[in-house]
Amino acid sequence: MEEGLGVNIQSMLDIARCAICLETVRPEIVQCVKGHLLCGECRRDLSCCPTCRQPFSSAKPSLVLRQMLEALPKRCLYTNCRAFLEPNDDHEKWCGFQPTKCLMNRCNWTGRAQDVFNHVQKLHQKSLIVRETCQDLQFIDLELKHFQKQVFPISAYGQFFWGEVCYNEEKNFFMMTFHLIPNCKPW
């Protein structure tokens, strides 16, 4: 019985698939006059349905359809993540598939959050990566009058961070911030 139920749910997910992102439609749901569904965000910049080339309907999908779609399991919105979300799930906040950028030395790399540490290790080999075993971080011989902003990678407890030091001599300002690049939910 459960196997058949899984096949039926998969069939419903396939029916409720957006023609653009190929995931289960997300609000605000848009329908064409023939009934094809799209995510409201995916519909942007489109003048007709990509499936049948018919115009979009101005009517909202029925309450029953909206309730059925809401009851279906939702996939994570990040590309290539296959996780299904539970109600009130914070998976997307911690998902390693969310896009991120490298902040090292004007690097143009963009990729998945879970890949940034490997990127830094391979392409920025001369950069010191601060780890959780580092007892204290010292900036030795730092000439602050020439120093404006410095970014450094941190890998600690399974997570990746960008450490950022900013200094402005004119304003007598020094600030250190840490930016989490989540790749999974912490333990």
Write down the residue that tokens 């991120």 correspond to.
100
The pair of structure tokens assigned to 147 is 């120093």
Residue in the structure block whose two tokens are 């997300």: 26
Query: pTM here?
Result: 0.65
Which position has the token pair 């120093």?
A: 147
* Residue 29: domain span: 2-72
Alpha carbon of 125 to those of 64, 73, 106, 166: distances in Å? 56, 42, 15, 23
116 shares a domain with 66:
no
CATH code for the domain in which residue 25 is found? 3.30.40.10
Task: Using the 3D structure, point to which of 56, 72, 88 is the last residue of a domain.
Answer: 72
* 52 in any annotated domain: yes
Residue 10 pLDDT:
77
Q: What is the pLDDT of residue 70?
A: 81
Which ranges of the chain have pLDDT less than 70?
Answer: 1-7, 127-129, 131-147, 187
Q: Is the peptide bond before 23 cis (omega within 30 degrees of 0)?
A: no
Q: For position 135, what pLDDT does the model report?
A: 61
Strand segments, DSSP code E, in 22-127 are 29-31, 37-39, 74-75, 84-85, 99-101, 110-112
Q: In this structure, is residue 89 part of a structural domain?
A: no
Tell me whether residue 83 is in a domain: no
Displacement of CA 168 from its chain's centroid (Å): 32
